[in-house]
Amino acid sequence: MVIVMNKCNKCNVFINTKTSKCPLCGCNINSSKGENVFPHINYLDKKYHLMKKILLFLSLCGIFVSLYINYSIAHILSWSYFVVLGIITFWITLIISLNSRKNLIKMLFLEMIILIILSLIWDYSTGFKLWSINYLLPFIIVLYLTLIFIIKLFIKRLESEFVFYASVSSLIGLIPGLLILLDKLHVYFPSYICSIFSIVMLIYLFVFNNKIIKDEVEKRFHI
């Protein structure tokens, strides 16, 4: 926000009132010579611009990798559509949240859950070939954790939201690994990556954000 104040040239002070005289020396103040005492600082604009560039790079990489893996394995495009849809939704949410100051990480988490549920329903309705769990779930979890970690680095006010939703998402990310241990899945690599990523994130949260975790648990569960 730019604030313009009148200046007394004799006293060399800025005056934030509607008076026509300087309260110190009594000289007349020419309001047309007001100056901006808080010059525009564009480092925040540069920071958000850098964040958007990094997120755009990861989004394009995510789209390409998901399409490539999907087509290489199945020779048709199926679950990768959900990844593309999720990334498009992410950008719509990002733009809306930055303009309206809504809880970006929470909104993305809810969209991720909806996307996973829709993919499970679609997979089940088409014969339940487990692509929703073998590929989409691990990919979406890793992508979501990566994106919110970058957002947290640039938007410090979302620190507590990041800790809570990253913890919940990391626990969800352990599900594919548990299904492998139970011999329910037969495509291992995506689930291994997701499980390792989730474990590393949980360790990071415990080591660097244990106080925030404790505060969030007490606040959300009224302990």
SS (H, E, C) 7-22: EECCCCEEECCCCCEC
Which residue's entry shows tokens 């790079």?
Answer: 57
- CA 104 to chain centroid, in Å, comes to 6
14-34: pLDDT as tens digits: 666 666 667 667 676 665 444
Contacting residues for 47 by C-beta, under 8 A, at least 6 apart? 154
Average pLDDT over residues 150-160: 83
71-120: pLDDT as tens digits: 998 888 888 888 898 899 888 888 877 776 667 888 889 889 998 999 99
Is the entire prediction scored with pTM above 0.85?
no
Q: Are 169 and 109 in contact (CB under 8 A)?
A: yes
In the chain, % of residues over pLDDT 90? 36
Give residue 144's pLDDT.
Answer: 93
Q: 215 pLDDT band (50/70/90 cuts)?
A: confident
Q: 205 pLDDT band (50/70/90 cuts)?
A: very high
Residue 184 predicted with pLDDT over 70: yes
**CA 1 to each of CA 14, 41, 44, 114, 194: distance values in angstroms, whole numbers, following the listed order:** 17, 10, 13, 37, 43
Helix (H) or strand (E) holding 5: strand 4-8
Q: What is the largest CA-CA distance in the chain?
A: 86
The residue ranking higher by pLDDT, 178 or 39, is 178
Both tokens of residue 17?
């009132």
In the chain, % of residues over pLDDT 70? 77
Give residue 2's pLDDT.
Answer: 46
The SS3 assignment for 169 reads helix
Give residue 5's pLDDT.
Answer: 60
Q: DSSP assignment of 34-100, as one string?
A: -EESS----HHHHHHHHHHHHHHHHHHHHHHHHHHHHHHHHSS-STHHHHHHHHHHHHHHHHHHHHH
Handedness of CA 116, 92, 170, 176 (dihedral sign): positive
Which residue's entry shows tokens 């415990």?
Answer: 206
Give residue 73's pLDDT.
Answer: 87
